[in-house]
Structures are given as C-alpha cells and as structure tokens.
Structure 1
Amino acid sequence: MDRRSLIKQAGIAGILASGITPAVHAQPAVRWRMASSFPKSLDTLYGGAEVFAKSVRTMSGGKLEISTHAAGELMPALGVVDGVQQGSIEMAQTAPYYFFGKDETFTLGCAIPFGLNSRQLSAWMYEGSGLKLVREFYAKYNIYNLPGGNTGAQMGGWFRKEVKNSADFKGLKFRIAGFAGKIMERMGAVPQNIPGGEIYPALEKGTIDAAEWVGPYDDLKLGFVKIAPFYYYPGFWEGSTQLDFFINTKSWEALSAEHKAIMTAAAAQAHMDTQAKYDARNPAALKQLVATGAKLRAFPQDMMNEAFKHANAIYAETSAKNAAFKTIYDDLVKFRADQNLWFRFTEATFDRFMQAQKL
C-alpha cells in the first residue's frame, strides 16, 4: 500500500501507529494561521496547538503549514470564534464553553457541571453521537471542529478565605466559566469570565475573590497560591474539559482529502498529548504547591448537593428554551447513565481500592 492510500484508508490509529510521514503529491502549499485563546506560558494548553501544527507540517512534508499565535497576538482570547466565523483566520484553538454567552450549546462540547469524565467524553465524541451532534451545531457558526485536548478532571480553584458551607458563596466574586458560573450565581456568587492570562492581576487587585483555572501544573505557573491560599477540590463543573480546534468551514472544505486526513490525525495526537502531560505533571506540581503554602480543602458536601440541584434545574430550563441544547444534552445524559453504570463496577472500584493502599 502506498502512502497516499495509507492516509485515506488506515484512519487515525493507523496513521499514528505507522510512524510513516505521508507524502503529498502535486498539491499547492497551504498556509494557515491559528489564533489560540491561551498564553504561551501555559505550555500544556497552548502547547497543544504547537504539537498539532508540528504534526501537520511533518505529515504533509511542509505542504500544509499552520502558524500558531497566542492569545492577544492576532485577536483577543475570547474573540477567536468571531475570527473563525468571519473567516479573518482559518482556525482557532480554544475551550468552547467560553462562548456560552452566544449560545449555551457551546458548553456541551467542552465541559458541563456533573458531566462526563475525560474517557467518557472521548467515548461519546468518537463512538457515540457527540461529534456528529456538535458539528451540526457549530455549522451554524461556519465552524468545523476537531477535538484537540483534554485537561482531565480539574481542581475547584483558589480562595482567599475558607469555604465552610454554601453561605460562604454569597457575594463572592469568582472567576469561573460556562454553566458553572450560572450555578454559582444561584448560590449567591458573582461569576466572572476572565481569560487565563488575566486572572492573577484580577486576584492581586481584589477585582475577584476566588478563581478556578485547571489544575496544579498550570496553577503553579500562574502563582495563585501567593494570593489565595485555600485550594479546593473537586472542580465538579469540569470532570473533564475538551479543547477544540475550530476551523472555518470554507477553509476546511477547500482542503484536499489528504490534508483533511492529516489534520484529523494531528488533532488526535494533540488530544492525547495534552491530557498525558497533565496526568504526568500534576502530581509533582501539587506537592510543590502544598510545600509553598497551599491549603487543600474538599468542597463541603452540602455545597456539592446544592450545586447538583441547581445544575439539573438549569439544564431543564435551558432545554425548554433551546432546541439545539436539548438535542445534544439529552443524548449526553443517556450516554452518561450507561458510562457511570460501567465505571461503577470497574474504574471507580479499582481506583478506590488502589488509592486506599499504602504503596
């Protein structure tokens, strides 16, 4: 089988496993720009864009090249959807839930409170109806998406003061994105949707009282422990968070089948690479944070129960007024029920046993 046939027939797994650099025959060079929602300092997040671009360049023999641009270089971090939709850039790297203000449906392809863990989300996307459904929605914005990374389960964030119960959220100015902000609002907090690179100054100036980002590796880099020492878990609003590569539909359709296959394979590599880095780097970073003063705390059970109740109420209300949201959410919930039944007997039981051992 020649290399052109390999790309067309082998699929993502075959391309990544083969180690073959596919040759691109008689195709003009393609040059794209990618705007990220993340700063370069976050090498796990922004680094996913670089992994993707490098893989695309290598697999295409340099015929398809994508330059990567950190938040603020081409456009603001939260301006990338407009840029892709309007065609001013060919593609972006972002967290879709940043744009729930345009339509709540954006959150479903990224993370929702009490949603899916990272393996379950990937299973829903690739083997369930997830990708099909979110692509139908994104098409309204002239966007074609490729999953491009997952953070895994996140931490609950950094607080200046200890949270002892739900009442402590009253009046709390909390940097938090997506539907989680709506939940916190119902609990009395004042949610703030602030890009990652702007969180530390906002905490430092007192513009916000608390902030969640991702987890220990990124949080250590961002220095939150210096200002807000109470470090809470779990980030129940992000049992996993999927990043996406958003591509302008016309730009995607103009690509050859070979270039589309290359980009799909490169995105799959970035998807795996991002979470592998988080899983490998978070443990040491957490130890370092604790050594420098972080005070680990679990969210109170009553607060978790109240948040769960508010989340379900919000989903019902949103489904009643947003048909696109309801279609995708109903499918996700059905998939989640089966996944949790399976994980209950396997992953969860195994994990609980192993975490109780003194190794």
Structure 2
Amino acid sequence: MKRRTQIEGRTSRRKFLGGAAMAGVAMVAAPKVVRAQGPISMRWQSTWPSKDIFHEFALDFAKKVNDMTGGDLKIEVLPAGAVVPAFGLLDAVSQGTLDGGHGVVVYHYGKQAALALWGSGPGFAMDANMLLAWHKYGGGKELLAKLYESIGANVVSLLYGPMPTQPLGWFKKPVAKPEDLQGLKFRTVGISIDVFTGLGAAVNALPGGEIVAALDRGLIDAAEFNNASSDRVLGFPDVSKICMLQSYHQNAEQFEVLFNKQRYDGLPEQMKAVITNAVEAASADMSWKAIDRYSRDYLEMQTVDKVKFYKTPEAILKKQMEVYDEVVKKKAAENPLFKEILESQIAFAERATRWEQDTVVGRRLAFDHYFGQEGVAKDL
C-alpha cells in the first residue's frame, strides 16, 4: 500500500511538472508571437504649418497612440509641405505615399462637393460637437465612408475635435452690411467658396500657411482661417487690425485623421481599438486645450497686438444663410449623394437642436451677471 502511494505520488508530480513546463513555454512564447515583427512605424503629414496649434493637435494625437500602444505603433507627423502640399493630403494617403495624415474634410472639397457638409455652413443650428454626434450616431460615419468610396479614396477616416465657431475674417475695415463684401478678394474653403462668391466676393482658396503673405502682398483683401491661436501665430495681426467675429460660413467643423486603408486594415484588431479610443481621448483633450489657448490669445491680441474685434452684423449672418440655402439646393439637385447627406443632417439637427434649445439655459444672462458692466464676480 505504501509503495502504491509512492508510485501515485511520483506520477502526480510528473504530471504537475509537465503541466507547469508547458505553461512556462506558453508564457515565454506568447510575447514573441505578439511582437514578432517589432514596432510598426508610420509616416504622416498634417495640413498645417509646424507653428500652428493645429499641428500641435496632430502631434498630441500621435503621442496618445504611441503611448497607448506602448510603442508598438510609432506615428511620426510631419508639417504641411514636408512631403506634399496641404491640399494634396488625401491623394498622398490614398496612394500610400503617406501612411496617414491630419487635416479637415473640407480640404477635399474639390474631389466631391458633399465633403464640405462636414464643415462649411451653419450646421442647421448645430454646433461642432452636435455635428460630431450626427457623424457617430446619426449615420454620418457610414455616409462619409460611402462618399470616399464613390471617389475611389483608399482611406479610413476618423473624425474628432469639435471646433468653435470661426470668425467671419480679417479685414482692412469693419464690414457693416452684405454689400461691403462685394468685390473683395477673399480667402475661404469648402462650400464657403460658393457662399462668399454668392455674396459678391472674389474667392481664393489658399492653404493656411499662405494666407498672411497673400494679405501682406495685396493678393487678397480679406481672409478667414479659424481661431485666435492659429490666426495670431500665423501672423494675421501683423497685416490687419480688424477682425469680425461670429459667422455661419463655418459654424461647425472638426478635424480628420486619415489612414491609408491597406495600412490600417493590416493592423492587429487590438491596435485598431486603441486608435479608436485615442481618437475620442484626443477629441476631449483638444477641446479643453482650445478653450484655454484660444481665450488667452484672444485677450492678448486685444491688449498686446491692439487688434479690434467686432461682432458680425445680423444682416450679414442672415444673408449668409439665404445664400447657403440656395447653394445646397442646387448641389443637392445635381448630386444624389449630396442630397442624401443633407437630408440626414437636417433630420438629426431638427431633433437635436430642438432638444438643446428647449433644455440648455442660455449663458449670456449669467455672463452679464458676473462679468458685465455691473458684474458681481469681483465681489465674490
């Protein structure tokens, strides 16, 4: 009996050691399987000059991906013009000249007019965050993929980063009525080209890095770009001291992350999940950073650069919408996909903006209470 117990004990020990050895092999081998090919490197380009805060946003996104993958994916982001011109990004990524890029959808407007619906116009009373809600949950993502497929773009597009309402632009003198825009040589992009043309301007769609030089040389009379931080660092206050705030020409826009489709499809599923979550993390971080930096530069342009800011008159805002309506009616009649996207946006906007208007309290009353002429914030 004792001998039998000893034999069974040796047998059990051999089984245990054998199982442990197999487990050890699995534990050692697993990391080699995952990292057999080593880190994946990608070369990207943004559509922004290196000094622009938008290029900083592109670098922020890449860093999040690089950090979250533990270095398994390394994205290098070059500034506009390093490989291709800013407006050449879509072709470069689609053809594999670049692995990916950072820009805005409306920069591809020349490929298909419907692409401008992700950034140009009044947004049917939606702000940029609501437009992103439509994109993610209201069918926009699927429509954009369909749109890119229709023009043969070999890309995967991920949108993020809701932008605040953009200024009407920089002028030699304040504009008081729609007629003041007639005959002006003006820079803008997307459907805004059609809107400002309808308002009587002569439009030139220049990339961001070329605008200030064109203003300085008199090649254009006025221009819009995006925000206080970008406008300041690009040098707008050096060539103009008049900026008109608030406009419907680009009320709701966002950034776009582009991947070459083959490069993206070849990534491990877990890495794709990291990228998807990095996009959303970057979206929130960009929004918070924008509030901090834009407000600082807005104040400093007034106190240091001596820029005078004016609110765009309501007459111009109303005229913008009237012209925009005519532009999109015409394009929808000519372009079935444009019409499909337009109808999808309007259906979502009617529901979402009605909820917002009925639910969200206006902040102007609170601003005046705390920071107006008789504001009480100083007494708190």
The verdict on a shared fold, with TM-score over 0.5 as the criterion, is yes
Partner amino acid for 2:144?
Answer: V
| Aligned mates of 2:174, 2:326 — CA distance in 1 | 27
Contact 2:92 2:98 in 1 (8 A): yes
| Aligned mates of 1:111, 1:183 — CA distance in 2 | 9
Partner of 2:7: none
Partner of 1:54: 63
Correspondence 1:293 to 2:306: yes
| Alpha-carbon offset, residue 114 of structure 1 | 4.1
| Alpha-carbon offset, residue 126 of structure 1 | 2.0
| Aligned mates of 1:287, 1:62 — CA distance in 2 | 39
| Aligned mates of 1:24, 1:280 — CA distance in 2 | 44
Partner of 1:182: 194
Correspondence 1:133 to 2:146: no
Partner of 1:104: 113
| Aligned mates of 1:83, 1:263 — CA distance in 2 | 21
Correspondence 1:336 to 2:349: yes
**Aligned residue pairs, count:** 335
2:328 to 303, 310, 315: 315
RMSD of aligned Cα (Å): 1.8
Partner of 1:353: 365
| Alpha-carbon offset, residue 328 of structure 1 | 1.1
- Identity rate, percent: 27
Partner of 1:63: 72
Contact 2:247 2:317 in 1 (8 A): no
Contact 2:122 2:252 in 1 (8 A): no
Residues 305-345 of structure 1 show CA distances to partners (whole Å, capped at 9, x for unaligned) of 11111101111111111111111111011111112211212
- Larger Rg, first or second structure (1 or 2): 2
| Aligned mates of 1:235, 1:247 — CA distance in 2 | 32
| Aligned mates of 2:246, 2:291 — CA distance in 1 | 15
Q: TM-score, length-normalised on structure 1?
A: 0.89
Q: TM-score, length-normalised on structure 2?
A: 0.84
Distance 1:95 1:345, change over 3 A: same
Contact 2:120 2:192 in 1 (8 A): no
| Aligned mates of 1:293, 1:235 — CA distance in 2 | 22
Partner amino acid for 1:93?
Answer: H
| Alpha-carbon offset, residue 24 of structure 1 | 9.5
Partner of 2:12: none
Contact 1:176 1:192 in 2 (8 A): yes
Contact 2:187 2:204 in 1 (8 A): yes
Partner of 1:41: 51
Contact 1:149 1:243 in 2 (8 A): yes
Describe the SS at the equivalent of 1:350: coil
Distance 1:27 1:259, change over 3 A: farther
1:152 to 161, 164, 183: 164
| Aligned mates of 2:34, 2:161 — CA distance in 1 | 30
Partner amino acid for 1:155?
Answer: P
| Alpha-carbon offset, residue 283 of structure 1 | 1.8
Partner of 1:10: none
Correspondence 1:273 to 2:282: no
Contact 1:52 1:266 in 2 (8 A): yes
Contact 1:320 1:326 in 2 (8 A): yes
| Aligned mates of 1:24, 1:90 — CA distance in 2 | 24
Partner of 2:40: 30
Contact 2:116 2:191 in 1 (8 A): yes
| Aligned mates of 2:49, 2:339 — CA distance in 1 | 33
Residues 38-83 of structure 1 show CA distances to partners (whole Å, capped at 9, x for unaligned) of 011012x111221121122222221111111100111111110110
| Aligned mates of 2:293, 2:58 — CA distance in 1 | 18
| Aligned mates of 1:100, 1:49 — CA distance in 2 | 21
| Aligned mates of 1:82, 1:296 — CA distance in 2 | 38
Partner amino acid for 1:355?
Answer: F
Matches for 1:224-303 after TM superposition, within 5 Å: 224-291=236-303, 292-303=305-316
| Aligned mates of 2:153, 2:336 — CA distance in 1 | 16
| Alpha-carbon offset, residue 112 of structure 1 | 2.9
1:80 to 89, 110, 117: 89
Correspondence 1:304 to 2:323: no
Partner amino acid for 1:149?
Answer: G
Distance 1:111 1:307, change over 3 A: closer
Correspondence 1:222 to 2:231: no
Q: Which runs of 5+ in 2 are unaligned?
A: 1-31, 370-374
| Aligned mates of 1:270, 1:27 — CA distance in 2 | 29
| Aligned mates of 1:278, 1:220 — CA distance in 2 | 14
Partner amino acid for 1:83?
Answer: A
| Alpha-carbon offset, residue 92 of structure 1 | 1.1
Matches for 1:12-23 after TM superposition, within 5 Å: none
